[in-house]
């Protein structure tokens, strides 16, 4: 009876260790390292902790067998946890370095395993299962109906080889099968716990970076993108910034109500994306204020469109939007737009925004429904 109590306590302890490994593995795999060295060594870290836990479980198994005078049953105490470590690593990562490293470790295990004459065959079957685990890990990890049968197939060559090596299984196959299914269930729950957490984080991040009404990027992202573009600037004319206001938007809200005002904002944002998608630039769009919108055009140095052409295109297309309010009353909108591009003597990433904003207000002072742009560098202002 004492032997079974020891096995149960050992099982619980190993289960906690396996949980710790899985959580550490996920953290290393998904955390955003601020240090580039750690970023480059991410795969090495994943390989290292996986091998370290395999060595830990294997050493504990060997010591347990020795301590109990080569009792066969203690050779089965840790085998499932070693297999689970390999399986979890392969299902969670597509890194080839991990596959090759674990292939070598598995080869060493089969090579070392005594009393198994056909270990090469077991190794080949295991290698195929390892390849399938990594190649189709996302699909297998998505459906329970695939995951549990695959787990049982994956452990089969390991357990069979161990059975031959130890010349028996005095703990009984029912116990071994129950332990295997419990471990598989635990890994599944950890996988989905992490997956749900990532989904929640992605939703929160998207909400923090996206304007809820227009679904455009918000000012926070606008600020980050301007900083990033300025920090990676390689050409003095590498990007241009356009910013515009909807003329007399407060009057629209006062006359037709805020719901109509929201519809105007939504349609302007959708149409803006459609217009810019027709241009030969990479672009990003933003809602930078109540009725203020901005967009950045990247790689502008390699394309010859004059800023005036682009600004007038946006102004003309948006002015063609038609809005209807009861009782069958229609109205259009106009915009005032300012544009500028990054300059060689800019001292700050927000300098371009200050100039574009200044040109926007020049447009307003000219009577609205106008544009004010900076001409290309080789033409006078």
One domain, residues 235 and 195:
no
Residue 305 pLDDT more than 60?
yes
* Stronger pLDDT, 5 or 268, i.e. the higher one: 268
**Cβ atoms 49, 147 nearer than 8 A:** no
Residue 329 pLDDT more than 60?
yes
C-alpha 77, offset from chain centre: 37
* Stronger pLDDT, 53 or 381, i.e. the higher one: 53
Query: How confident is the model over 178-199, as pLDDT tens digits?
Result: 888 999 999 888 888 888 888 8
Highest mean pLDDT among 32-36, 44-48, 117-121: 44-48
One domain, residues 175 and 45:
yes
Residue 355 pLDDT more than 70?
yes
One domain, residues 118 and 262:
no
E strands, the chain, in order: 239-246, 282-287, 292-298, 323-325, 329-331, 335-341, 371-372
- CATH code of the domain covering residue 295: 3.30.70.270
For the residues 141-160, what does the mean pLDDT come to? 92
For position 51, what pLDDT does the model report? 96
Q: Which of 148, 177, 209 is the last residue of a domain?
A: 209
For position 380, what pLDDT does the model report? 45
- Report the sign of the C-alpha dihedral through residues 245, 246, 248, 253, in that order: negative
One domain, residues 145 and 104:
yes
Structural domain includes residue 378: no
One domain, residues 7 and 137:
yes
Residue 173 pLDDT more than 80?
no
Residue 357 pLDDT more than 70?
yes
Percent with pLDDT over 70 in the chain: 92
**Using 50, 70 and 90 to split pLDDT, how confident is the model at 233?**
confident
Structural domain includes residue 190: yes
Structural domain includes residue 77: yes
Residue 235 pLDDT more than 70?
no
Phi and psi torsions of 239, nearest 5°: -150, 155
One domain, residues 50 and 103:
yes
Range of the domain at 241: 219-372
Whole-prediction pTM value? Answer: 0.64
3-state secondary structure of 279: coil
Q: Which of 209, 230, 245 is the last residue of a domain?
A: 209
One domain, residues 179 and 39:
yes
Residue 341: C-alpha distances to residues 70, 288, 309, 338 (Å): 77, 18, 15, 11
Percent with pLDDT over 90 in the chain: 60
- What is the side-by-side order of every strand in the sheet holding 371-372? 282-287, 292-298, 239-246, 335-341, 371-372
For the residues 318-336, what does the mean pLDDT come to? 92
Structural domain includes residue 252: yes
For position 32, what pLDDT does the model report? 83
One domain, residues 50 and 93:
yes
For the residues 245-267, what does the mean pLDDT come to? 95
One domain, residues 282 and 358:
yes
Residue 33 pLDDT more than 90?
no
For position 93, what pLDDT does the model report? 92
Task: Return the closest-CA partner of residue 161 out of 130, 115, 128.
Answer: 115
Structural domain includes residue 28: yes
Structural domain includes residue 270: yes
Structural domain includes residue 324: yes
Query: How confident is the model over 102-119, as pLDDT tens digits?
Result: 999 999 999 988 888 899
Residues with Cβ within 8 Å of 77's Cβ and at least 6 positions away in sequence, in order, are: 7, 10, 11, 14, 61, 64
The count of domains in the chain is 2
One domain, residues 83 and 170:
yes
Query: How confident is the model over 71-100, as pLDDT tens digits?
Result: 555 567 788 999 999 999 999 999 999 999
Q: Which of 155, 179, 209 is the last residue of a domain?
A: 209
Distance separating alpha carbons of residues 360 and 249, to the nearest angstrom: 15
For position 172, what pLDDT does the model report? 67
For position 54, what pLDDT does the model report? 94
Residue 212 pLDDT more than 70?
yes
One domain, residues 61 and 197:
yes
One domain, residues 159 and 257:
no
**Using 50, 70 and 90 to split pLDDT, how confident is the model at 381?**
very low
Q: How many residues does the chain have?
A: 381
For position 304, what pLDDT does the model report? 64
* Stronger pLDDT, 90 or 201, i.e. the higher one: 90
Structural domain includes residue 381: no
């Amino acid at each position: 009876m004492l032997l079974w109590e020891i096995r149960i306590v050992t099982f619980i302890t190993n289960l906690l260790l396996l949980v710790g490994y899985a959580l550490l593995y996920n953290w290393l795999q998904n955390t955003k390292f601020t240090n580039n060295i750690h970023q480059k060594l991410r795969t090495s870290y994943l390989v290292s902790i996986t091998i370290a836990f395999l060595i830990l479980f294997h050493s504990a198994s060997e010591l347990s067998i020795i301590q109990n005078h080569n009792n066969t049953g203690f050779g089965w105490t840790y085998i499932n946890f070693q297999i689970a470590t390999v399986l979890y690593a392969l299902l969670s990562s597509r890194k080839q370095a991990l596959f090759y490293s674990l292939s070598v470790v598995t080869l060493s295990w089969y090579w070392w395993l005594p009393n198994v004459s056909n270990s090469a065959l077991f190794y080949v079957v295991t290698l195929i299962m390892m390849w399938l685990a990594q190649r189709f890990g996302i699909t297998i990890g998505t459906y329970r109906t695939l995951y549990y049968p695959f787990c049982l197939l994956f452990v089969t060559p390991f357990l069979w080889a161990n059975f031959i090596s130890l010349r028996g299984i005095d703990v009984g196959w029912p116990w071994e099968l129950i332990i295997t299914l419990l471990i598989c269930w635990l890994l599944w729950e950890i996988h989905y716990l992490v997956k749900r957490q990532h989904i929640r984080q992605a939703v929160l991040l998207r909400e923090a970076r996206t304007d809820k009404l227009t679904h455009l990027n918000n000012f926070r992202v606008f600020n980050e993108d301007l900083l990033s573009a300025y920090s990676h600037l390689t050409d003095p004319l590498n990007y241009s910034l356009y910013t515009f206001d909807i003329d007399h938007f407060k009057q629209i809200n006062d006359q037709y109500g805020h719901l109509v005002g929201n519809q105007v904002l939504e349609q302007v944002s959708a149409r803006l994306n459609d217009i810019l998608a027709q241009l030969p630039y990479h672009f990003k769009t933003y809602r930078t204020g109540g009725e203020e919108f901005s967009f950045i055009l990247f790689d502008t140095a390699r394309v010859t469109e004059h800023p005036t052409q682009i600004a007038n295109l946006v102004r003309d297309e948006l002015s063609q939007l038609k809005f209807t309010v009861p009782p069958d009353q229609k109205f259009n909108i106009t915009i005032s737009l300012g544009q500028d591009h990054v300059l060689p003597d800019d001292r700050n990433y927000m300098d371009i925004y200050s100039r574009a904003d200044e040109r926007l207000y020049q447009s307003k002072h000219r009577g609205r429904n106008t544009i004010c742009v900076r001409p290309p560098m080789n033409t006078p202002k």
